[in-house]
Amino acid sequence: MKPIVVVHERGRLWIERVRGRLKDVPVRVIHSTCRADCLQALRGRRESVVLFDLGWNWQRGLELLGTVLCMDPDAALIALAGQNSAGALEAPLRQLGVTAFFSAPWPLARVLDVVERAARARLPDNLTVVSSTRLARPAQATPPFAPRK
- What tens digit of pLDDT does each residue of 69-98 get? 999 999 999 999 988 888 889 899 999 999
Q: pLDDT tens, 92-126?
A: 999 999 999 999 999 999 999 999 999 999 998 75
| Contact between residue 41 and residue 31 where contact means Cβ atoms under 8 Å apart | no
pTM of the model: 0.82
CB atoms within 10 A of CB 74: 11
- Which of 82, 115, 83 lies closest to 100 in space, CA to CA? 115
- What domains are defined for the chain? 4-121 (3.40.50.2300)
Q: Looking at residue 126, what is its pLDDT?
A: 53
